[in-house]
Amino acid sequence: MKAPIHAICRREVALGLALAGIAPIEAATGAEAATAIAGLAHEPAHGGIVLIEQALHDALPLSTRRALRRAGEPILMPFPGPAADLAAGPAPEDELMEILRRAVGYRMRLR
């Protein structure tokens, strides 16, 4: 089944994503982001892969995070916003491995 890639972000980031050819869903708060995620429920695979700005992901209500973990769909992929400190976050390889673990169901190792 094919599922489109969606993006949820603040307006400042949405302008850049639109230039890259992705039609973003704008949200200013975690509650608005949760509403946007709920709106994707009718999409194939409940939205497929959803790129979400890290600040909005961190601000999602706890109940929404739990429901997403249980359902497994959509797959949320947080990305840093324009003011993020890239050195403070996990290594890109670790983020990739976590996505693969969720998709496959067990941990793997990169060589």
Structure token pair of residue 61: 């209500």
Per the confidence metrics, is the pTM higher than 0.85?
no
Q: What is the 3-state secondary structure (H, E, C) of 7-54?
A: EEECHHHHHHHHHCCCCCEECCCHHHHHHHHHHHHHCHHHHCEEEEEH
Query: How much is the pLDDT for 110?
Result: 62
Q: With respect to residue 59, please indicate whether it lies within any of the assigned structural domains.
A: yes
Residue 86 has pLDDT above 60, yes or no: no
Single out the residue of 86, 90, 38 nearest to residue 61, CA to CA: 38
Q: With respect to residue 111, please indicate whether it lies within any of the assigned structural domains.
A: no
CATH number at residue 76: 3.40.50.10580
pLDDT band at 2 (very low <50, low <70, confident <90, very high): low
Q: With respect to residue 55, please indicate whether it lies within any of the assigned structural domains.
A: yes
- Report the number of distinct structural domains present in the chain: 1
In angstroms, rounded to a whole number, what is the distance separating the alpha carbons of residues 55 and 28?
Answer: 10
- Structural domain harbouring 99: 5-104
- Residues 13-26 pLDDT 10s: 998 888 888 889 99
Task: Name the residue with higher pLDDT: 69 or 31.
Answer: 31
Residue 73 neighbours by CB distance under 10 Å: 18
Q: With respect to residue 17, please indicate whether it lies within any of the assigned structural domains.
A: yes
